[in-house]
Structures are given as structure tokens and as C-alpha cells.
A and B are shown apart, each in its own frame.
Chain A
Amino acid sequence: MLTNNIKLAWHFYKQEYHHAHQRLLRWTQGVLLLFIVTLSQSSESIQNYLDKNLQGLLGADAVLSQQQTLSSAQFSKVSSLTNNVVMTQQIKATLTHNGQWQQAKIKAVDKQYPLQGELLTSRKLQGPSQQTLGGPALGEIWLDARLFASLSLNIGDQLLVANSLFLVSRVLQHEPDRLMEGHSVDMRAMINILDMKALGFSSDLINYRYLIAASTKQINSLIRWQQKNLPAAQIQHKQGDHPLALFWQRTENFIGLASIILFFMAAIAIEQLTQVHMKKDQYFTAICMSLGASSFAGIQVSCFKWIINLVLLLPVVILLSTGFHWLIVSWLNSAFVDLLWQWNYRPILKSIGAVVVLFAVFHTPVWFSLHGCAVTKLFNGENKGLSHWFTKISSIFVLSGVAITYSDNGLLTLMMVVAITTTIVLMILMSWITLTLGEKFTQNFSGLVPFTLFMMKQRIVSKSTQIIGVGLCTFLLLFTLMLLKDLGSTMASYQRQHDGNVMVSQATVPQLAFIENLAKQQGVTIRQAKPYMHAKLVAVNKQALAEFSQKPSESLATFARAIRLHWNESMPENNKLVDGHYWQGKEQPDSQNWQQISVEQEVMTDLGLVIGDSLTFVIDQQSFTFAISASHAFKPGAGSITFWVQMPTAALTHIQAPRYSMASLELAPQQWRLLAELWQKFPTLRMISLTEMTAIFDSILAMITQLISGFSFIIISLTCVVILASINALESKEKKKNSIIMSFGFSRSTCFRLNVIEWLVTASIAAMGAIVGTYLAGLLIYQSQFSLTYKADFIWLIATLFIILLLVTALGVYASRNNLRSSVRQLMSET
């Protein structure tokens, strides 16, 4: 029996192979599987690469880092707990040479460096690398090749750092502990640790890193000791997550979130196709049942047919994904050197398994409709009722599952879902209003347009499903493209308008005073200046941060490091209150009522915080617990310097810690020379000009462009599949309609014209819905996610409207040409 059913399924599979509904199903499943399998293959390759790196290139078994030096007691304890400890110090400073400047990370090491791995240097810029034991001698500095080039240096030159001269003696090629510092593109320099002391930088600007050789057991006891005694310090070790791994996981999650869009489109396409599959399989089952078989046989044949389709699709998908995987690995080679292409069996099986289960859920309504139905009902092809709703509910269920699994940023996911829902509601309303009013107002006019509107209004349910399908795909495509286009231009113009052309990200109190004084003398405009101190979040509601949340998120990734804690007496102009009171108690909190804090809305959502929760920060080695009394959000129009966490000014009387400021300046072209003067005086002043900012931004944008282009290609493919599926779903109805129209004495060209008008109306509603949806999504997401006011380019939007109109109509008319191959004779032959 089973063998017979499999044979029968194979027979029907072959028979339906070239039918549009099977072809479209194959395309939908193929595109989605290709995307997911390629993604999982590529990410597994990267994870393997990072793991391997972690084993060989960390330069230590563990690294303890913090903003302060260890006390001698603490150092002795660490030494006793482990085999060997080597101290390094790092500071970000600006180096100047012949009027040129460049910010770099200077590392100070002693003769014991490196602890593990190889330190490679060379005597010439293009010379061969040599393994080097110990760091530079006193008075010498080693620089990496990029720094050499940007400062136009040669070996033997003298370089000025904070009024001290250093001899440039070697080119720095490779530091073994570099990967442990995370994914950084900073330029590098190395000096002797004793020179660092002599330079006299303020100790709070230095990052102290202790490279430790230890066994796994020793690392575990070190971690226990650190958690108890140095909760604000960070420990990275071979057993832990690589900083890059976390970065990649978040990238992967973002792509995963984007894949919801693809799943959504696949769901629309499959939902449209399900109607045709349901009819075909119901008809077959009805024949089986009329011949004495049970409905179970029909379900079995339907299941086998579906399985055969997938099994034959998989080799093609695996072959293509292998090719794409190879291309991605080649492309990523610039960022991940020595990343190798390799087969990863487990992720292929895992991702295919998961996607197949999702496809099965999408297809369940077909099998569900075959179960327990009477022969007459099946012959009539009734597919409404329970199974109809089952389709919708199962699709929503699956999509929610995907969204929850991949969501990295709760607020962004919520906004994307809100934007999609709004667009759907909008398109339903627009379909209803346009068709109702259109039909009403054209009632007294003759011609094909009023007739088309009348017919569309009469078939509003099936038509609006098609409009939503097409519109949603267009919206998703448009949003992806718009994001790409607007992000760059809006960000650049906005920053120029509000933030001046130089951003100071960290200035100490004397540095800021000097800048203010200089600004007064030279007529430089300081647009904004806001104070802050470094604070490391260690616990939420007395629970350690690591235990509080395991899920990677934007906020959690930032809280892994010390954040900037701002203070003020009242709400800053560029913030607005979202929840709670800013500040509680009185107009201004007094000295007793200072342990309150306001947290940014997105952070609250990401970490699941509520008003009243307590946050414990370590600030300059002291622990302080604050209660969340308010939540704030960014309000555009008064500069972009804003802080995630803010406390009342009254807290300053209780917290003794180094204070810094962020500021933005507007420099006239002739004043740019002042920057060299500033950096020469204060090498540790963190300052970036807008041209540098846009250069960094442009390089990020270039990478995003490539990523989005590939993604857009997949979306465009799926959009076409959705349009074709929606046409296929209505094909039999359309053919019948055309035949009936011809039976009234009209020609095929009339049907063609009606078809063109119908697609123009469909495309207009879908395009308008998509554009309004994109506009709303822009308003929602741009502001909250990128702190930007979304300024829609209406000319661009209108141009897009016409392009969509043209393309959708052309595709719709072309794809529905089959519907015109109808005749009165076909109506006669239906008996």
C-alpha cells in the first residue's frame, strides 16, 4: 500500500512538474533554502576561524584589564593564583610629525613581553618580519605600517609624543595579544613601559592589561577572585567568547532578523500557492475516496509528493549554496585573513531541517483540508472555514517563532513588526476606499475603467490579498533600498547642521578648559559640551550582569565595557521623558536623594528593565547602586550628543572619580591648524574631524551596500515569485472571467485592456501603500535607531512610485498572459 502510494506520488510529481503552482513552490523553497544554508555555512566557517584564532593568537591564557593599575597586594594575589603575569599599558593618543597628526593606540611593554606567541617586527617598511623578544628600548618607538605611511615617517626619524622625542626604530608587524583586544582598526605604536611613566599621562586615561599564563583550573579560580574583588575589571580567556565572535554573532542575528522579511514573503507566496495545491489535492483525494480508498491515502500521496519535491530540490540548493559560500569567504578574506572555505555538514543539516519544518507548517493546511472531508465537498473544492484560518494562524505562528529566535534588538524587531502591520492595515484600507469610491464615482461613466473598478470591488477579498502580497514585497524592497540611500546622506547632512565639524569624544577637565579658552581667543564655536564619568555596570537588581542576561544584544554588548555616565539637573534639550520622573522627590534631588538614574528607552527594552529596578555601577573602584526613576529618549533638533544613562548632579558630591567631557566644535577652514597645536599639547585628547568620521562611515557604508545589494537581489526574486504566485492562485478565476466576457460578444483585446487596467490599479494601490509604509517605517526606525530625523525625499518617492507602477504592471500583465488564452468553447466543454 505504502509502496503504491509512493509510486503514485512520484507519478503525480512528474505530471505536475512543469505546472506553474509546482514550479513557483520550488522557486520559493529554493530561494529561501539557498539563503539560509549559505548563511549558516558562512557563519560556521567564520566561527571555526575565530575558534582557531583564539587557540593560537591570544598571546596569553587569560587577560585581565581595567582602568586602574593593580595594587601590589592584588598583583601578588594574581601572581600566586597563576603561573606568570606580564603587565602592559595602553593609551589612545595623537602622534604628530611635520604638521601631520594621527590618532593611534600606544602600547607600553617591558622585556618580558610577549608572554605567549610571536612578536614580529621588521627593520624596513617592506622588509621581512623577524621574531622579536621584548619591547622597544628606552626612548624608542615602533609603529605599524599604516602609521608610518600616514605620518610620512622613515626608520631613524624622531617623533614627538607629549613633548618627548622618540626614535623610530622598527616597524611593528604583529602583536600576539592583539586579537584579545577585540575587533579594532586603530593604528598601533609600541614603547617601553618606563617611557610611559616618564610621559606622565593621567593614570585614568590608561588601560592596564595583565597577560596571564594559567591552567583552566587556575583561570576558574582567577575568575572567582576577580568577581569578588574586582567586579569592574574584565577577564578574557581561551574558554570564553572571542570579542570578534560576539561581534559576528550580532551581525548574524541582524541578518537573521532581516531573514524574517524573506520568511514573510515566502509565507505570502506559499499561502497563495496553497489555494491551488489544496484544490488539486482535494480533487485527487475525492477521486480516491470515490473509488473506495480512505482520505488517509490522499494525505499520504500529498505528503510523499511534497517530500519528493524537497528531496530533489536539495542537491541543487546545496550545490548553489556551496558556490555562494565560496564567494562570501573570498569576499570576507579582507577582514578575516586566512579564512578558508570548508564543508560544514552539521549546520547544513540543522538549517535544512529547521527550514523544512517551517515549510511543512506552511503546507499543513493542504493536508488538514484533506482530512475528514466528504467526497462531494472535496469535489467542490471548498477550502474555506477551519483550514483557511489554519493557514493564517500557522503562518503567523511560524513568523513569530523566527522573529523571537533571531531578535537581537527588541525595539527594532517591534518597530519592524509595527511597520509591517501598519502597512498591511493601510493597504487593506486603501484597497477598500479606492475601490469603493472609485466604483461609486465612475458609476455614471462608460468605459473599461469603471467596469474594472466595479469588478475589483466585487472581488475585493481575493484582490486585496493580491494587493497586500505585492504591496508588502514592494514595501520591504523599498525600505531596504531606502535605508541604503538615506542613511549616508541624512547622517552626513544632519551632523554638519547640528554637531559642527569636529567631535571631541573625551576631554579631561584641564583639556576642556584649554579648549574653551582657545575657542574664546580664536573665535571657535563650541556647539555642545557635556560632562561624564566612566562607569561599569556590574549588577542589575543585585544580580551579576553576566547572569542577568545571556542573550546578545546591542545594549548588553555595550555594557560589557565601561559606559559614559552623564549628570544634569534637568532634562537635556535633546532628550524627552518617556516614563517615570526626572528627578524624583523634589524639583532637584538633594544630597540624600541622589541615587536615582534615568536610562534610555531602547536600553530598557533590550534588557527588560522597568522603573524601580536597581543598577549597580563600579565607578573608579567604588560600587554605587542607583534606582531607575525615569526613562528618556532622544529628541532631535538640539545636537546629537546624548547619553544612555544619566544621574542627578547631586550625585557628584558622593562620587569621586575623574570627570570628562564630550563636545562638538565648528572650525573655519583656516582654524584647522589649531588641531595640530591641540594634539601636540594633549596627545590623549580624543577628537575626530567630520571628514574622518565620514571616511569611516563611507567604508562601513560600502560594506553594507554590498550586503544589502545581495539581500535586495533575493528580495526582488521573491517579490517576482509572490506576484507570479498571486496570479497563479487566481488563474482559473481570471480565465473564466475572460471567457464569460467574450461570451458577451467582446474580443480578446478587450480582455487584455481590462487586464492592463486591473494591474495598473493593483500596482497603484500596492505602490502607494508601500511608499506610505516605508515613510512610516522611516519615521519610526530612523529616529529611534539612528537618532536621525527622517527627511523623506518626495521627488525620489514619487519617481519610485512610477517605477514600481511600471514594473509591477509589466510583470503582472506579462505573467497573466495565460489568462487570456481562454475561449467560449472552454466554458462549453466544462460539463
Chain B
Amino acid sequence: MSSYIELKNISQSFQLNESTVTLFNDLNLSIFQGESYAITGPSGAGKSSLLMLISGLEKPTAGQVAYVKAEQRKTLDFLRADIGFIFQQFHLLPELTALNNVALPLKLRGDKQAINKALVWLDKVGLSQRKNHKPSELSGGEQQRVAIARALVFEPNFIFADEPTGNLDQKSATEIADILFACCQENNSGLVVVTHSAVLAQRAQHTFLLADGSLMDCSMAEAHNKQESNEMFRV
């Protein structure tokens, strides 16, 4: 039974110099396990804040949030153990080898098979040959692959990726996107990507645009456009 995250009528605002700045109002969104989502929008629109709300690491100023797992409604605090993050800056620990970076979340959970599982995941992202290399000895693309393996190795239900290709060239970005979507699919993890890249956003099953305090579902419009162009072709 797949689980999902539900955000109902949520608003987020903060105080700045005695005035209230509202990032978004009355926003509704559901994130299902096994599906992929892309959130785009201009800088400062509140994409990262929305990601923090979805992941349950921050609380909204208004609205309801819930994590539904095995048909049971829970608060987002229960989501914590089921999530993984991927960052634009990779954030690998520099003293650890690629293998140990990947094994880190499993070790923390006391998994006795941590190293073996990490090896499997390094193989999946195509880096089994570089398992003993430290982050400084890897390229940006390779570091991001290690980060993907690290986020997925403990098989979380949801993955949150903040600009995962923002620091990479086009070729590496395509490779990373391929791996990210494929791995999440294989793992049946829900994937939420915050990005400026239209190319990356297009690969998600659901695309949202966050602008002027509201969230617009672009996947519907996109599907509609796609249908229209197909009909025109037929004509």
C-alpha cells in the first residue's frame, strides 16, 4: 500500500522588519510514493521553503499537513525516518570514501549489512570502480551520483532533491537525471525535485510552478497542450 503526503490550505509567511512577508497562501498538494514531482519557479518564490514543509522539517504558519501510511493518518513527524535528501552542493563528507559516504545512513541505523548494501548502490550509480575515492578525487557528476546512492541506500519512501543538477554541465546533468529518476522508480520512492531547469522538470510526472504565492499544476496544462498539438497534427 503506497503512502502519501498531504498539504491542505497551507500558508507560509515570516516577519521581516516588523512587516509580514507571505510566501504562499492556501496551497494544496499531495505527494504520492512512487511518483515524481518537479517544483519550478523564480528565485525567492519559496520553493525551498515548500520543500521543507513537504518533508516535515518545518511547520506551516497555517493549514494542515499529514502523512498517510498504510491508510493511517499521522503527523509529518512520522515522515522523518522515511525521507532522503539530495543537494545542489552534494554535501558529501570530505574525509570519507565514496563507499563510506553511501554506507553512512545505514551505519547510523545500525545496519550490519551497511557496506554490502552501499556497494550494491554504488554499482547501480556506476561508481563501483571509484568506491575507495574521496569526494575531492571525484568530479561533480560523480559526487552527485554518490549523493544519490547515499539518499536511496536506506530505501526511503520519499526523496527530496534541491537543484540536483544546478552545479553540473549539461552532459552530467542528463546522466544524473537519468540515474535519479530510474533509481527512484526502481525503489518505488516518491521524488520531489526543486529546479530551475525546464529540461529536468519535464522529466517528472507532475510539474508545478510556484510564483506569486500560488502553486500552479503545469502537468495538466502541458498534457492539454500536448493533446492539442497531436490533434492539430492529425488534422
User: Which of A's residues lie within 8 Å of B, judged by CB?
Assistant: 443-448, 450-451, 454, 458-459, 461-462, 736-737, 739-747, 750, 823-825, 827-831
Query: A446 and B48: CB pair below 8 A?
Result: no
- Decide: A745 near B48, CB < 8 A? Known: A445-B110, A458-B95, A827-B91: no
State how many angstroms separate the Cβ of B178 from the closest Cβ of chain A.
23
- Give me 12 A-to-B residue pairs in the complex whose CB atoms sit less than 8 angstroms apart, sorted by A's number: A444-B112, A458-B96, A462-B95, A736-B91, A737-B93, A739-B91, A740-B104, A744-B84, A744-B104, A828-B48, A828-B87, A831-B166
Contacting residues, chain B, for A741 (C-beta < 8 A): 108
Cβ of B107: which chain A residues have Cβ within 8 Å of it?
450-451, 454
State which size class the interface on B falls in.
Answer: 20 to 34
Q: Are A827 and B109 in contact (CB under 8 A)?
A: no
A444 CA to B111 CA, complexed, in Å: 8
Across chains A and B, which 10 residue pairs bring their CB atoms closest together, nearest first?
Answer: A446-B110, A743-B85, A744-B105, A459-B95, A745-B80, A745-B81, A828-B162, A830-B89, A458-B96, A451-B108
Q: Hey, which chain A residues are within 8 Å of B104, CB to CB? A: 740, 744
Task: Please state if A745 and B84 are interface contacts (CB–CB under 8 Å).
Answer: yes
* CA gap between A269 and B226 in the complex, in Å: 66
Q: Are A744 and B154 in contact (CB under 8 A)?
A: yes
Q: Which B residues touch A825, using CB under 8 A? A: 48, 52, 57-58
- What per-residue 1/0 map shows which CB atoms of B99-130 lie under 8 Å from chain A? 01000110111111000000000000000000
A820–chain B nearest beta-carbon distance, Å: 15
Known: A448-B108, A825-B48. 18 other contacts (CB 8 A): A444-B112, A446-B112, A450-B107, A451-B108, A458-B93, A462-B95, A741-B108, A744-B85, A744-B104, A744-B105, A745-B83, A823-B57, A825-B52, A827-B87, A828-B52, A829-B48, A830-B87, A831-B88
| Chain A residue contacts of B84, Cβ below 8 A | 743-745
Please report the C-alpha to C-alpha distance between residue A451 and residue B163 in the assembled complex, in whole angstroms: 30
B positions within 8 Å CB-CB of A: 48, 51-52, 55, 57-58, 80-85, 87-89, 91, 93, 95-96, 100, 104-105, 107-112, 154, 156, 162-163, 166
Shortest Cβ distance from residue B161 to the other chain A in the assembled complex, whole angstroms: 10
Most chain B CB neighbours (cut-off 10 Å) among A746, A823, A828, A831:
A828
- CB nearest to B83 among chain A residues: A745
- Nearest residue (CB) in B for A462 is B95
Is B82 a contact of A745 with CB atoms below 8 Å?
yes
Known contacts A446-B109, A458-B100; A827/B95 CB under 8 A: no
Measured CA separation A406–B168 after assembly (Å) = 59
CB distance from A510 to the nearest CB of B (A): 79
Most buried by B among A459, A744, A746: A744
In the complex, what residues of B have CB within 8 A of residue A443's CB?
Answer: 112
In the bound assembly, the distance between CA atoms of A824 and B104 in angstroms comes to 16
Residues of B within 8 A of A737 (CB): 93
Q: How far is the CA of A150 from the CA of B104 in the complex (A)?
A: 78
Bound CA–CA A500/B109 (angstroms): 66
CB of B88, distance to nearest CB on chain A (Å)? 6
Quick one: which of A446, A458, A824 contacts B111, CB cutoff 8 A? A446
B166, closest chain A residue (CB): A831
Residues A827 and B89 in contact in the complex (CB < 8 Å), given A445-B110, A744-B105: yes
Complex CA distance for A448 and B107, rounded to whole angstroms:
9
CB atoms of A450 and B48 under 8 A apart: no
Closest partner residue, chain A, to B110 (CB atom): A446
Q: Contacts of A458 on B, CB cut-off 8 Å?
A: 93, 95-96, 100
Give the chain B neighbours of A454 by CB distance below 8 A: 100, 107
Beta-carbon nearest neighbor of A445 in chain B:
B110
Q: How far is the CA of A462 from the CA of B112 in the complex (A)?
A: 27
* Minimal beta-carbon separation of A447 from chain B (angstroms): 5
Cα distance, A397 to B47, chains bound together (Å): 55
Residue picked from B48, B51, B95, most chain A C-beta under 10 Å: B95
Most chain A CB inside 10 Å of its own CB: which residue of B88, B96, B104: B104
